[in-house]
Structure 1
Amino acid sequence: MKKIGFSLLLAIGLLHAQATLAAADCKSYPKEEWASEDTLKEALEAEGYTIKKFKVDGNCYEIYGRNKEGKKVEIYFDMKTLAIVKAIGLKD
């Protein structure tokens, strides 16, 4: 019984750690201050990015796609300034 309980707690802890690592810490703004999604998409495509998925994740814009070299990326952007808050895969 103790092994099952410990395993369950370990699994929950690992899932929580993964969720924490994946999330970005973006500042919250009123919706009327958000920059246009289309502006961000157009700017990224002009730089050679291919966007596979674009979504609002909490207080961030988040994209999944490929950079101009064809490498997978996951990037979180500030919704007002469109600055990169967190990027995964850009340095590969």
Structure 2
Amino acid sequence: MKLFTALTVLAVAAAGPAFAEGKCATTAKSKWQPKSALESQLQADGYKVKQIKVEGGCYEVYATDKTGKRANMAFNAETLEKLDNAEAGEN
């Protein structure tokens, strides 16, 4: 039974990062990265940025990818880390 419990704990711990969603910035706006840095990063990745909005401590991006497909993404405004939830700042 102890082996089963240990294996269960290991399986949950290993899967943990796969479920991490990231968070919006909680720091002062003076510590945030500029929107222009995010826009440059996205353009280098082949996106055409339509709009970047501030939602909570996140940048919410409306863009199109290389094929013209719409993309709605959210990024932590301080680290520019892409978040799993495109509406992260609205929660």
In 1, Cα distance between equivalents of 2:71 and 2:49: 9
Q: 1:79 to 1:25 in 2, by over 3 A?
A: same
**Where does residue 72 of structure 1 map in the other structure?**
70
Q: TM-score, normalised by structure 1?
A: 0.63
Looking at structure 2, the residues matched to 27 and 51 of structure 1 have their Cα atoms a distance apart, in angstroms, of 21
> What count of residue pairs does the alignment treat as equivalent?
65
**Higher RCO (C-alpha 8 Å, min separation 6):** 2
The alignment-based identity, stated in percent, is 34
Q: Specify the code of the residue in structure 2 equivalent to 1:68.
A: K
1:74·1:87 contact (CA, 8 Å) conserved in 2?
no
Distance of 1:71 and 1:87 partners within structure 2? 18
**Amino acid corresponding to residue 32 of structure 1 in structure 2:** S
* Conservation of the 8 A alpha-carbon contact between 1:73 and 1:87: no
Whole-Å separation in 1 of the counterparts to 2:84 and 2:34: 19
Cα-Cα RMSD: 1.8
TM-score normalised by length of structure 2: 0.63
User: What's the CA shift for 1:40?
Assistant: 0.6
In the alignment, structure 2 segments of 5+ residues that lack a partner are 1-21, 87-91
**Aligned partner of 1:51 among 49, 52, 62:** 49
